[in-house]
Structure 1
Amino acid sequence: MNGIWGLVGAAVTVLGVIVTGFFTYRGTRTAAAIQAAPVAKAQEFAVLQATVERVDKENEQLRMRQSRLESIVRAFSWSFDDLRRWSRNPVGDPPDPHPLVDEYNRTGV
């Protein structure tokens, strides 16, 4: 009878090793997934941050160009208005263009 209990004990031990191995495998896999998640999120965040920085730089350049264009249009308007007033009452020399108009006429920028 002693031999049967030995076999039962051995079977329970083998079954325990198999169950322990299964739970260890599941835990290791879950732990790896948990550790990989922050790395993936950090990479996504890095890509998002680089995109935001690029868009900010592009927006800054566009704002500067738009501001420059608005200034030039305003200067052309002032110069045209001065010239129109002079043409209605042409006394003396025609008015000089605004400095931005003069610069634009010289450089094209």
Structure 2
Amino acid sequence: CAEGLMDAGCLPVLKHAPGHGRATIDSHKSLPRIDVPLAELDQTDFSTFMALADLPMVMTAHIVLPEIDPEVPVTLSAQGSGYLRDRIGIDLWQHDMSGHHHRQIRQRPERREIGQLQF
């Protein structure tokens, strides 16, 4: 399917890395925290994204992974993006420039936007 899209000139976007499967709350309403060791996530949740790392882009999940960044969700975290890029081997597309999820984080809006642009 992805190859067909690319053959037609479209870029498929895999989403949402590193996954919402363990989240117990809707990330549109609150900020999920996934308190699972990274070694376990590498073997389970992240394995799908690792297998598809050759796709052109991946949209991030708006979740907190405390072992990577205890306060900031992957969508806004330099550490989170770095981990996904380096460990999982994917290029990223950060998707929340509108600020929808930013309201859930205690940080001045202009700082969040600057952080987002640094990825």
Give TM-score scaled by structure 1 length: 0.22
Higher relative contact order (CA 8 A, sep 6+): 2
Specify which structure has the higher proportion of helix. 1
Specify which structure has the higher proportion of strand. 2
- Larger Rg over CA atoms: 1
